[in-house]
Structure 1
Amino acid sequence: MEENQELEQELAMEDVLKNYDFKKIHTGEIIKGSVLKVTNDEVIVNINYFSDGIINKDELSFESDVNPFDVVKEGDEISVKIISTDDGEGNVVLSKKQADEASIWDSVDDAKKEGKTVVVKVKSETKGGLIASYKGLRVFIPGSQAAARRIELNTLVGQELEVKLTECDKVKKNIVASRRVIEEAEIEAKKNELWSGLTVGEKREGKVTRLAKFGAFVDIGGVEGLVHVSDLSWKRVNNPEEVVSVGDTVNVFIQSVDREKNRLSLALKDVATNPWTLVESKMKTGDVVEGKVLKFTTFGAFVEVADGVEGLVHLSEISDENIAKPSEVLEIGQTVKVKVLSIDAANHKMSLSIKDAVEKSKEYLQYTDNEEESTLGDLLKDKLSGVKFE
């Protein structure tokens, strides 16, 4: 009878021991466990060993002063790292934080190798950049890598950023990340999409980014194009500042697209309001019109005869006198009469003459004076007939 009881006890003990494997319990090992109990100071975990494991509050999470009830609950299966196989009272000392850290480092290594992005939370600004956290691990973002464009670093504190890992050293516990490479890739993708959608002749809204002597640069949403000074207005423009300023929002027309050279030609003047299209219907060769002297050259003077329409008065057509330069007889801004010698509206060219206009005016005045003289004589002759003078 006693022998049977001893045998039953041995068999029962074997069944119990089957559930434990003492040889796998080693300091530094990461194993699975089930949460048995949660208190304000610690968590009791069943690790399938002859004694339970204990996680102190400080080893639960990377967050300081954490509430254990906010981290785990009874019945949760968690990964833990064995800190000690015996705390002096027969308990196994565990750490969830260190087990999580090992797992996170594995995910960080994978993200770095595969070029994947991760989301970090910026904690503070430091010398040379930002300190962020990725699941409790410290991440450094150099100031030059915080954004694609210049930005005040303190404005990013407290924000969550998608970053790419550029350095990852588990031994030195060093992680370096970049937000800039992501933004630059997004900008490049947006540019490619914009380039493929540009059509010559279409109208786009943009912002003036910078000015040069030869024109104004306008950003139309990620792609910068040039508005040549001659395309700022139908009127003559000597300096782009006469028409636009940096920061102005403008509507421009696509003139030409060169994707290979990344060149975009724009026009601010409205092609639909080309004043030259009306020139031939309003003026013809031989007409004498009034204009304003705009510019002198060595070979003559340019005179504006309508808004945005100007013609050349060659030096030989300015005066009957022999002059060496236009300024001898003309002034900038002066209003003059000119005769239209030729019109080439398609090429925006017009040839004018001041001396012919003056001669035509003299002929007209002479004709008018003679006509008035003749009419007055006839009238006086009739009225004075029979009148005697003493």
Structure 2
Amino acid sequence: MDWQSESPELWAYLESLHRGDILSGTVVAIERFGVFVALDDGPGHPTLPGVGFLGIPELSWRRFDDPTEVVQVGQRVACEFLGSDTHNAEARLSLKALEPDPFQAFADRTMVGQDFRGTVAKVVPIGIFVDLEDGILGLVPFGEIDGRPAASPVEGFEAGDEIAVAVREVDLPTRRVFLSRPESGQYAGGVQPM
């Protein structure tokens, strides 16, 4: 569809926006691929529920399984304008751009070797994911679990267990935290009770 000729008001509105503008509106539809927002200052959209669109990665810094964990239909939101999608004639928005990044805050205040108490979030074939705080997950790889060889199965750990870990590396560009079991957290026979 040629949005410029079919909907000149919509096209003019999108052209008037600048990256970084803060736009407010109301959530009008939640789909598995994103969230539509009716923008306060924007025109209606001829085919979509709203002229504003929040892609799933732009909803929150925190992990979530369903967009309804972050927003609800009818909720008022303020978002940062990222750019115009000229194919769909919609304003691409970010909700998380207006929130502090918890990973950056974690990286800023965490030192290599620092001890944490965390909760096992998931046991996977390569190791254990531990929830440290604020949704920050770190991986304790096989070789770091109580001195087990790298090919050992992860036994004795279940989601929900509290364990002691030490930060081995915080990789800001890839947003990954690598952990080990602290020296004081190991003893022959497996996991030290907490």
Structure 1-normalised TM-score?
0.39
Give the equivalent residue in structure 2 for 1:344: 171
Q: Aligned match of 1:227 in 55, 64, 88? A: 55
1:330 aligns with 2:163: no
Query: What count of residue pairs does the alignment treat as equivalent?
Result: 174
Q: Aligned match of 1:208 in 12, 21, 27? A: 27
Identity of counterpart residues, as a percentage? 30
One-letter code aligned to 2:29? R
Per mean C-alpha deviation after superposition, the further-off stretch among 236-245 and 276-285 is 276-285
2: CA distance, partners of 1:213 / 1:335: 33
Give the equivalent residue in structure 2 for 1:360: 184
One-letter code aligned to 1:241? T
Question: For the structure 1 residues 305 and 262, does the alpha-carbon distance in structure 2 shift closer, same or farther, using more than 3 Å as the test?
Answer: same
Do the aligned partners of 2:122 and 2:159 also contact (CA within 8 Å) in 1? yes
1:248 aligns with 2:75: yes
Superposed counterparts of 1:253-268, under 5 Å: 253-260=80-87, 262=89, 264-268=91-95
CA shift digits 1:7-30 (9 cap, x unpaired): xxxxxxxxxxxxxxxxxxxxxxxx
Do the aligned partners of 1:279 and 1:345 also contact (CA within 8 Å) in 2? no
2: CA distance, partners of 1:204 / 1:253: 6
| Bigger Rg over Cα | 1
Post-superposition shift, 1:196? 0.8
SS at match of 1:352: strand
Do the aligned partners of 1:206 and 1:218 also contact (CA within 8 Å) in 2? yes
Give the equivalent residue in structure 2 for 1:304: 131
Superposed counterparts of 1:111-122, under 5 Å: none
Superposed counterparts of 1:149-160, under 5 Å: none
Question: For the structure 1 residues 233 and 351, does the alpha-carbon distance in structure 2 shift closer, same or farther, using more than 3 Å as the test?
Answer: same
One-letter code aligned to 1:196? E
1: CA distance, partners of 2:124 / 2:37: 31
Superposed counterparts of 1:157-236, under 5 Å: 188-220=7-39, 221=42, 222=44, 223-228=51-56, 230-236=57-63
One-letter code aligned to 1:209? V
Do the aligned partners of 1:291 and 1:338 also contact (CA within 8 Å) in 2? yes
Question: For the structure 1 residues 218 and 294, does the alpha-carbon distance in structure 2 shift closer, same or farther, using more than 3 Å as the test?
Answer: farther
SS at match of 1:273: coil
Do the aligned partners of 1:296 and 1:302 also contact (CA within 8 Å) in 2? yes
Give the equivalent residue in structure 1 for 2:66: 239
1: CA distance, partners of 2:21 / 2:122: 33
CA shift digits 1:294-339 (9 cap, x unpaired): 3444433332323143222324433434643x5x433333332221
Aligned CA RMSD, in angstroms, stands at 3.2
One-letter code aligned to 2:55? V
1: CA distance, partners of 2:28 / 2:125: 35
SS at match of 2:13: helix
Q: Would you tell me which structure has more helix in proportion to its own residues?
A: 1
Q: Extract unaligned runs of 5+ from structure 2.
A: 45-50, 188-194
Give the equivalent residue in structure 1 for 2:48: none
1:317 aligns with 2:144: yes
2: CA distance, partners of 1:282 / 1:206: 35
2: CA distance, partners of 1:256 / 1:303: 36
SS at match of 1:289: strand
Superposed counterparts of 1:10-89, under 5 Å: none
Question: For the structure 1 residues 349 and 196, does the alpha-carbon distance in structure 2 shift closer, same or farther, using more than 3 Å as the test?
Answer: same
Give the equivalent residue in structure 1 for 2:109: 282
1:294 aligns with 2:121: yes
CA shift digits 1:107-141 (9 cap, x unpaired): xxxxxxxxxxxxxxxxxxxxxxxxxxxxxxxxxxx
Q: Extract unaligned runs of 5+ from structure 1.
A: 1-184, 364-390
CA shift digits 1:49-103 (9 cap, x unpaired): xxxxxxxxxxxxxxxxxxxxxxxxxxxxxxxxxxxxxxxxxxxxxxxxxxxxxxx
